[in-house]
């Protein structure tokens, strides 16, 4: 829980953060980073290092093993702390609030950043912490094309790569497609503007025909840019009086993907199914796909 992370985060000093960073770096080469490697990076005495590691272990910042040697891994709470520390230093985030969304592969929190002008109000933002690999490395590898050829990877690698992948595509699409504005990225976390309106799943639409047309038009724009969301449904579309916004992009594919047509069809099918079930709106799947692909 981020509340637990924040309580510990306020008590961490530069030496604690250096230990966490040393373990993070060591996990590129070790499943369990040996105590000796952490000591080389931090340059702390073994007594100091073991004392601080014990406190980090008690605070769920790290996990450890004694067999076949004494070694450590950074835990999600510790990784959250490192990302938050970077965001605070950059001025991307000044305070973090309630959890507003949680899934198998991410946790989203409200936050604020200080305004550029001192007389202005704080700016609302959100932080999305990726959690890929938390439950099953094998399953994440199976459904993520960018991990298929990787023989070995840690959850740190999976989560960090997913966050960078999503941040990069948000930057590519922003200004051309209706998506929240990306603001900053570090490790496994992204800071972005909040999506406008409310989640389609939880919204009773007054003009469902207009909203459905807006969604299909946006899918067409995305497709014209050579991209397919590939995980689109009522769970990651926001609706407002201004239109719609798509969120959750780490699974996107390009039109060169061998299953691009199937993934596009699945996205459109999900959307049409939602509107048929909830609003009794019928559209022919084939006709919609031809509309989207027609340049």
Q: Which residue, 152, 149, 160, is CA-closest to 105?
A: 160
Q: How far apart are CA 34 and CA 39, in angstroms?
A: 9
Contact between residue 42 and residue 49 where contact means Cβ atoms under 8 Å apart: yes
Contact between residue 18 and residue 42 where contact means Cβ atoms under 8 Å apart: yes
Q: In the numeric block, which tokens belong to residue 198?
A: 């409310």
| 3-state secondary structure (DSSP) of residue 77 | helix
Whether 149 is catalytic is no
Q: In the sheet where 106-113 sits, what is the strand order? A: 95-102, 106-113, 123-130, 189-192, 182-186
Q: Which residue, 271, 295, 267, 266, is CA-closest to 283?
A: 271
Q: How far apart are CA 230 and CA 250, in angstroms?
A: 9
**Residue from 80, 184, 231, 248 carrying the catalytic annotation:** 231
Q: How far apart are CA 25 and CA 192, in angstroms?
A: 26
Active site residues: 231
């Amino acid at each position: 829980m981020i509340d637990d992370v924040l309580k510990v985060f306020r008590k961490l000093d530069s030496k604690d953060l250096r230990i966490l960073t040393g373990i993070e770096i060591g996990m590129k080469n070790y499943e369990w980073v040996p105590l000796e490697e952490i000591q080389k990076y931090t340059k702390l005495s073994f007594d100091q290092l073991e004392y601080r590691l014990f406190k980090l272990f008690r605070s769920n910042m790290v996990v450890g093993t004694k067999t076949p040697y004494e070694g450590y891994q950074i835990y999600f709470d510790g990784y959250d702390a490192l990302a938050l520390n970077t965001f605070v230093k950059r001025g991307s985030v000044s305070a973090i609030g309630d959890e507003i969304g949680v899934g198998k592969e991410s946790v989203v929190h409200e936050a604020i950043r200080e305004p550029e002008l001192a007389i202005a109000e704080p700016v609302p933002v959100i932080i999305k912490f990726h959690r890929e690999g938390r439950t099953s490395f094998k399953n994440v590898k199976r459904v993520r094309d960018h991990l298929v050829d990787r023989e070995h990877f840690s959850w740190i690698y999976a989560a960090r790569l997913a966050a960078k992948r999503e941040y990069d595509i948000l930057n590519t699409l922003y200004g051309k497609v209706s998506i929240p504005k990306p603001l900053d990225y570090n490790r496994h976390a992204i800071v972005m503007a909040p999506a406008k309106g409310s989640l389609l799943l939880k919204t009773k639409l007054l003009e469902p025909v207009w909203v459905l047309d807006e969604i299909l038009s946006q899918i067409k724009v995305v497709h014209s840019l050579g991209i397919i969301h590939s995980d689109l449904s009522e769970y990651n579309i926001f609706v407002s009086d201004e239109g719609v916004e798509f969120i959750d992009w780490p699974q996107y594919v390009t039109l060169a993907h061998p299953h691009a047509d199937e993934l596009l069809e699945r996205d459109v099918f999900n959307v049409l199914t939602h509107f048929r079930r909830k609003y009794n709106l019928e559209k022919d799947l084939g006709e919609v796909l031809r509309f989207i692909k027609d340049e």
